[in-house]
Amino acid sequence: MAPYESESAGRRKATRYVVPVAVVGVAAATIGLVPALADSGNPDLPKISAQQLIEKIAKSDVQQMSGTVKISTDLGLPSLGGMAGGFTPGAGGSSDGKAGSSADPQSKLTELATGTHTLRIAADGSDRHKLSVLDSAAEYSVIHNGDEVWAYDSASNEAYHAKDAAAAGDRAAKHPKGETPKGVPATPKELADEVLKASGKTTSISVEGTSQVAGRDAYKLLVKPKQAGSTVGGITISVDAKTGVPLKFTLTPAGGGKAVVDAGFTKVDFSKPAASTFDFTPPKGAKVTEGDDLKARDKSHAPKEMPKDMPKDMPKELRDAQGGGMKDLKVIGEGWTSIAELKLPGGQGLPTGGSASGDVPPEAQKFMDALGDHVTGKFGSGTVFSTRLVNALVTDDGKVYAGAVTKDALVKAANAAQ
């Protein structure tokens, strides 16, 4: 700027920059305020008891619906993408999946266990369902239409086909209905079903006000463990006031912080979905894997999804896993605080600070120590590996105690088992 220019001209020039700054300000205010405004105002609904609300859910007979579901899962595992598969006794679920077909429903749905995903579901009657997982520039769909079950992975242009819905039922077909394939929770409804099944003496259930989910008025059902020692803080299920369909499911850990699982509709529509939604013919050139091929392969890898499940599924899942080759499995306790006890193959514990074996390089030793906490007790010593929900104690003599319980509860269980 020229030194002899008048000061007022300079100021006038400077004021022009107010415009872009104002635009930024307005945008920031909009981004900050709009969700807050949209969130405000819990709807006024007639009071209802927990019993009535559960009945409402049970009575709910919605046959036709479609919508978008957002699922966020934060188990506190290191976010290494497909690594979660490597944690499992089935070993190499992730690397294995590639060897078969990427359209195999089971290997695909495993991915839902970590991170945030957007799903679309559509249902028309009891025999037409569709579930799609929206990826970046790709989509994975499971389509059930009559006695045909298709799964299609658009990224690799591969399809999976099963002819008989009864045979495929436990895998993909019934997925949008409630019986999950191997316990991967996908829709709010089936998550809620699981919770209600697990309720009993161990659980308190109450109605905690109302909220708005996907633009619909909903009751909030709060499910809390009564037992001490559970890492589950509470589960909130938002139930649509009109139809009784669960719209949102949130699982918060006892330790506080972000929800471990947060699944809810962002859009829901109870009208009949277009018939073409459920039509599928594999595109020309798509690689189609028939269901029977996969089944044979899957038998040997049955337990591969176990540890990523909901805590209340744990005992059930572990029992499933028993059939898959782990004979030394026991379940201690009941309800929320069930702890699974199993023996590591070979009877060898993980090398820990306490039992530094000579063949472990010091770096690896440090790495193991960083991953888990060293604990000692009547049972001897071991290492506790923690996630936000599930803790596992690996003792030096090769036993594993795992459950959705606190570290102390694990040590107590290990002591008692001694």
Residues in contact with another protein by the rule CB under 8 A:
1-2, 12-14, 16-17, 19-20, 23-24, 27, 68, 79, 98, 102, 118, 120, 132, 134, 136-139, 141, 143, 150, 152-158, 266, 276-277, 279-287
Q: Which is nearer to another protein, 258 or 299 (CB)?
A: 258
Q: Which is nearer to another protein, 134 or 167 (CB)?
A: 134
Shortest distance in whole angstroms from residue 130 CB to another protein:
8
Q: Which is nearer to another protein, 154 or 322 (CB)?
A: 154
Q: Which is nearer to another protein, 68 or 355 (CB)?
A: 68
Q: What is the largest CA-CA distance in the chain?
A: 91
**Site of tokens 């013919």:** 281
Nearest residue to 223 via CA among 211, 209, 208, 243: 208
Where in 291-396 does DSSP place strands (E)? 330-332, 339-343, 372-377, 380-386, 391-395
Q: Which is nearer to another protein, 24 or 416 (CB)?
A: 24
Are 343 and 395 within 8 A, CB to CB?
Answer: no
Shortest distance in whole angstroms from residue 231 CB to another protein:
25
Are 399 and 344 within 8 A, CB to CB?
Answer: yes
Shortest distance in whole angstroms from residue 20 CB to another protein:
4
Q: Which is nearer to another protein, 12 or 226 (CB)?
A: 12
Tokens representing 244 are 């009784």
Nearest residue to 410 via CA among 311, 309, 337, 330: 337
**380-386 and 391-395 beta bridge pairing:** antiparallel
CA distance readout (Å), 311 to 267, 315, 316, 389, 406 = 28, 8, 10, 8, 12
Are 291 and 161 within 8 A, CB to CB?
Answer: yes
Where in 196-260 does DSSP place strands (E)? 203-213, 216-225, 232-240, 246-253
Shortest distance in whole angstroms from residue 395 CB to another protein:
34
Tokens representing 144 are 């059930």
Shortest distance in whole angstroms from residue 280 CB to another protein:
5
Q: Which is nearer to another protein, 134 or 196 (CB)?
A: 134
Shortest distance in whole angstroms from residue 176 CB to another protein:
15
Shortest distance in whole angstroms from residue 4 CB to another protein:
9
